[in-house]
Chains A and B, each alone.
Chain A
Amino acid sequence: MADISFEKAMGKLDTIVSELEGGDFALESLIKKYEEGIKLVELCRGHLDKAKSRIELIKKDKKGDFVSKDF
């Protein structure tokens, strides 16, 4: 699965849970959807843990390029 955004992952998760709660389909589909759901949960948790805080000031130099400085 590609690295999709947090919002998309949560959206897909909600869909899968609804499908499982309402639907009636083959056992194989169940297993597939459940596994996909687990992967999405891990992805979402990953998004939360991966990040690292950074606070910076952006200014433009003489050439007009952006320069970053810690705040």
Chain B
Amino acid sequence: MNVYTVTEITREIKGMLEETYSGIWVEGEVSNLSKPASGHIYFSIKDEFSSLKCVIFKSYSKNVKFDVEDGMKVLCFGNIGIYEKSGQYQMYVDMVEPKGKGALHIAFEQLKEKLYKEGLFDESIKKDIPDFPKRIGVVTSSTGAAIKDIIEVSQRRYPNIEITIFPVQVQGDNAKTEIAEAIYDMNIFNEKIKISGEKENPIDLMIVGRGGGSVEDLWAFNEEVVARAIHDSDIPVISAVGHEIDFTISDLVADIRAATPSQAAEIAVPIIEDIKDRIDDVFTSLERSADIFLENKFEKIVSLEKRLNLMEPVNALLQLEQKLDETTQKLSTYITQYISQEENGINYIQEKLNILNPVNVLKRGYSITFKDGKIINNAASLKKGDEIVSKFAEGEVGSVVG
């Protein structure tokens, strides 16, 4: 009868398991996740009826591009083995993929959520870029279309602009580190210029980016280390990851996002002719407002002068003289009228008197009859034989009443 020792049976089973179940994919839901300080990751994957213990050793954990969380549905790749001490079989996992969405996508969502919560995407912390930069920095590959486009567009708009390039890998494993370091370096570079006191222009803003490519190619611009470097930068950052539609994490953290490197240059560099025109316009406004100002003052002076002239003593005197003349004239007119009226009155009376004058009456043919020197106005007072005298306008005649 063959009697196994515990170790022997365990070893045999282990051998059988490891031979048969190596390099396999297993799908399940994560539970009992544990991430101790050792760096190994322990969890189980389960389905409705069963569960399987798993471990990802530290050396493999960098293959996991996202945070494994309880409840996630995942696919694990590795081998089944036995931990002899406990007699427990478990899966040694080399690689984990989330079921459904890609690992990259999950990582992206997790990082985006994390940085958003920290406030790295807030509008309020985004810096303005200067209207008129004299020197721009660029973090990109020194070969490739991106840098050529940036230079061409920049020089076309402002021929005298200075461009300072910090060349980096923009894809591959080292890209994220190089990009982040270049951003920090550029800030250090600027500090050195400022404290050196030399008449060198500091960098006014930087463009961080690359030309178009696949999601994997662009991935460095979704890495946390790059996001933090952009956030920490004192120099304003324009993110230009040549991916027209989607936003990378760099795009969200940067102060301005451009769809392409060319567009970044358009945002960064003003058209110098426009600026010249603006200066000319301001100059014209300055002259014109000075002119208007002076004109206003001049008008005021003229009107004040007019009022002053009216107040002058000479004028006052003339005015009084004029008034005197007018009054004199009025008086004279009045007097003349008065006299004329009186004259009319007198004339009227005189006319009447003329009519009543006895001499005029006699002239009209009447005579006055006297008897004994007394005027007779009644025929009855005369009798026959009386002597009467008739006075005519000229002369007189004696007669006897017959």
When the two chains form their complex, are residues A58 and B279 in contact, meaning their CB atoms are under 8 A apart? no
Once the chains bind, are A20 and B293 in contact (CB under 8 Å)? yes
Report the minimum CB–CB distance from A59 to chain B (whole Å). Answer: 7
- Specify which of A6, A14, A60 is in contact with B185 (CB 8 Å cutoff): A60
Q: What distance in Å separates the Cβ of B263 from its nearest Cβ neighbour in chain A?
A: 20
CB neighbours of A30 from chain B (8 A) = 290, 293-294
- Point out the residue from B132, B159, B166, B283 that lies within 8 Å of A41, measured CB to CB: B283
Chain B residues with Cβ below 8 Å from A45 are: 276, 279
A to B contact number (C-beta, < 8 Å): 84
B131-A10 in contact (CB<8A): yes
Find out whether the CB atom of B290 lies under 8 angstroms from the CB atom of A34: yes
Interface membership of A51, Cβ < 8 A: yes
The residue in A13, A38, A51 that gathers the most chain B C-beta atoms within 10 A of its C-beta is A51
Contacts of B189 in A (CB 8 A): 58, 66
User: Within 8 Å CB of A51, what residues of B?
Assistant: 134, 160-162
Interface centre among B162, B289, B294 (most CB of A within 10 A): B289
Tell whether B106 is near chain A: CB-to-CB under 8 Å. Answer: no
B361 interface contact, C-beta 8 A: no
Q: Does A52 contact B (CB under 8 A)?
A: yes
| Chain A interface residues toward B at CB < 8 A | 6-7, 10, 13-14, 16-17, 20-21, 27, 30, 34, 37-38, 41, 44-45, 47-48, 51-60, 66, 71
Q: List 21 A-B contacts (CB under 8 A).
A: A6-B131, A7-B130, A10-B279, A14-B282, A21-B289, A27-B297, A30-B290, A30-B294, A37-B286, A45-B279, A51-B162, A52-B160, A54-B163, A56-B162, A56-B163, A56-B164, A56-B165, A57-B142, A58-B164, A66-B185, A71-B163
